[in-house]
A and B are shown apart, each in its own frame.
Chain A
Amino acid sequence: MQEADGHYAFDFYPLQSAEHTRIHLFFENLKAGRLTTTKCAGCGTVLWQPRVVCPRCNGDAMEWVDLPKEGALFAFTVVLAGAPLGMEKDVPFVVAVVQLDGSPIRVVARIDDAAYEDLHIGDPVALRVIRLPDGRAWFRFAPTR
């Protein structure tokens, strides 16, 4: 199926195939249940988001590495109004900054299967991969207790 069929100007999700992006491996790994990113082969920096050039040393040799699939809520809220086009039907949804376990990396993601009122800073969450109707993948997290 063609990616982003139709309304590209308001499609928030990245185009994911090799036809469109050089980090297509991120999305292929995601579909296999893995959260990955690039590590600079030159200076060893683990980069988030995945890059094709290292912002620290300017090297362009990259290795793909796995990131932890578990993390903890660093901050979170629930969107009750004012959702962007295409997300109105998702309201209410929880969005958070997740601190990945044993890693300096923090990622922004939605938290599924959770009511805002039940969550606390520090709560453990785990990766959840979702698929869009056109076959693309994206990552969210969900509470593990």
Chain B
Amino acid sequence: MRKVAIVGTGMTKWGVRGATYKELVQEAGKDLFDDVRNVEKKDVDSLFVGSALVDRLAFQAYPAPIVAEQLGLTPTRMAMRTEMACVSGQSAIRAAYASIASGLSDVAVVMGAEKMNIPSFPEIQASMACVLDREWDGVNGLNAPPYFALVAQRHMHEYGTTEEQMAEVSVKNHDYAATNPTAHFPKRVTKEKVLASPKIAPPLKLLDCSGITDGAAAVLMTHGDAVKRFTDTPVYVEGLGQAQTGSLVGNLENLTTWLPLKRAAADAFRMAGVTVHDMDLAETHDCFTISEIMEHEDLGLCPKGEGGKFAVEGQSRIGGELPTNLRGGLLGCGHPLGATGVAQAIEITRQFRAQVPKERYVGGEWGMCHNLSGNANNHAVMVLRRGG
């Protein structure tokens, strides 16, 4: 197996954009090819596109050739779309990793892109609800906010977690988003503002939820022998883990412990030969405030049930146990489903390259990315190391 590295990054501004799916893809592609030295379009032999809801929200199936057309790429080895809802972006990176490590691909573009905002908000929500089992769960009006509200209610019931503790997650991630000009919500919020924000699905309020966001993010990946051509600071993918359970909410083994996260993290850290305590920074999937609280617990950063206390103590801020979501997380950046996992890897890469504002610079040698999708029935963890 060959070593595999990220050697270039490209981002768009995220938000409610006056831009189509194809235009977002062009913007991320420009930023990527402007970032990487010595790369020509013809060198890119493979393309991996992470887009979850492009069929419904852009009314466009089969996006890989669409992306190739927009970027001027003509892949000759591997081209595919990965669809794993909110994990689609990290899935595209995983697929690129597997293809490059095996020798099937040499130079790959990974594009995560999502056009979420369309004129009909109920249609957006209907498409999101189809991420669940539409006939048995979505049909009842269950969707992302009400599902994670059920999780939050159980976590509060079982462990005494409070809405104030959840609000601290939103405050932290908005603090860091304020340093990120590509974020959808680059403004600080107070705990009082979070607690007073409109109720969406109690106990979750608007500022406990990530936004409906348009955006794209792209990385260039290659094998260990080729990295020097493109960059002095490659970022190596050292560990990968993914675990999944079935789809029905009623059949989930546990609502308040994410067993697939524990399995995915164990596999990724074993593969990398490190532990979570070796990480200098982390990106974890804060689709809702309760999510980040549970992720810190299930990653083993604090005892089960003490994720709220971990947040209040500032242990996930710079200077704490593990700085988490320094780009602003999903809460601050918004959540264009397929783009999120790629943008997380970009944050780690740019941190290692000292390409982020000093207010959120940590740098270091080891970082991790975590995504979850659906009703948290799928988790993916990736461990990255600074090279060069």
- B-contacting residues of A (Cβ < 8 Å)? 10, 12-14, 48-49, 74-88, 90, 93, 95-97, 105-110, 116, 121, 138, 140
Within 8 A of A (CB), among B34-51: none
Q: Interface stretch among B196-204, B214-222, B325-333?
A: B196-204
Apart from the given pairs A79-B145, A83-B125, 7 other A-B contacts in the complex at a CB distance below 8 Å: A12-B129, A78-B201, A79-B201, A81-B199, A95-B140, A108-B137, A108-B249
Q: Which residues of B contact A116 (CB under 8 A)?
A: 202
Given known contacts A12-B135, A77-B146, A83 and B122 CB-to-CB distance under 8 angstroms: yes
Which residues of the other chain, B, contact A78 by a CB distance below 8 angstroms? 201-202
A85, B153: Cα distance in complex, Å: 26
Contact of A85 among B126, B137, B140 (CB under 8 A): B126
Is B62 among interface residues, defined by CB-CB distance under 8 A?
no
Q: Using A49-B136, A80-B201 as known contacts, say yes or no to A87 and B141 having CB atoms under 8 A apart.
A: yes
Q: Which interface class (under 10, 10 to 19, 20 to 34, 35 or more) fits B? A: 35 or more
List A contacts of B313 (CB < 8 A): none
With both beta carbons as reference points, the residue of chain A lying nearest to B249 in the complex is identified as: A108
- Which residue of chain A is the closest to B136 with respect to CB atoms? A49
Given contacts A75-B150, A82-B145, contact A110 B140 (CB under 8 A): yes
User: In the complex, what's the smallest C-beta–C-beta distance from B322 to chain A, in angstroms?
Assistant: 29
Q: A76 to B129, Cβ gap below 8 A? A: no
The 6 tightest CB contacts between A and B, nearest first, are: A77-B149, A106-B250, A85-B122, A84-B126, A85-B126, A75-B150
* B134 contacts chain A at the CB level, 8 A cutoff: yes
Given known A-B contacts A13-B139, A84-B125, A121-B153, A77 and B120 have beta carbons under 8 A apart: no
Task: Evaluate contact between A77 and B153: CB separation under 8 angstroms.
Answer: yes
* A-facing residues in B102-128 (Cβ within 8 Å): 120-123, 125-126, 128
Q: Does A81 lie within 8 Å of B200, measured CB to CB?
A: yes
How far apart sit A93 and B135, CA to CA, in the bound complex (Å)? 18
Question: Can you give 23 contacting A-B residue pairs, CB < 8 Å?
Answer: A13-B135, A14-B135, A49-B248, A74-B154, A75-B153, A79-B143, A80-B198, A81-B198, A84-B126, A84-B138, A84-B141, A85-B122, A85-B125, A86-B126, A88-B122, A96-B150, A97-B249, A97-B255, A108-B250, A109-B140, A110-B140, A116-B202, A121-B153
Q: Which residues 232-263 of B sit at the A interface, judged by CB distance below 8 A?
A: 248-251, 255
A81 to B200 Cα, complex, angstroms: 5
Contacts of B136 in A (CB 8 A): 14, 49, 108
Highest count of chain B CB atoms <10 Å: which of A10, A14, A48, A86: A10
Which B residues touch A85, using CB under 8 A?
A: 120, 122-123, 125-126
Q: Does B52 contact A (CB under 8 A)?
A: no
Q: Are B199 and A80 in contact (CB-based, < 8 A)?
A: yes
Q: What is the minimal beta-carbon distance from A107 to any residue of chain B, in angstroms?
A: 5
Query: Which residue of B120, B133, B200, B204 has the most chain A CB atoms within 10 A of its CB atom?
Result: B200
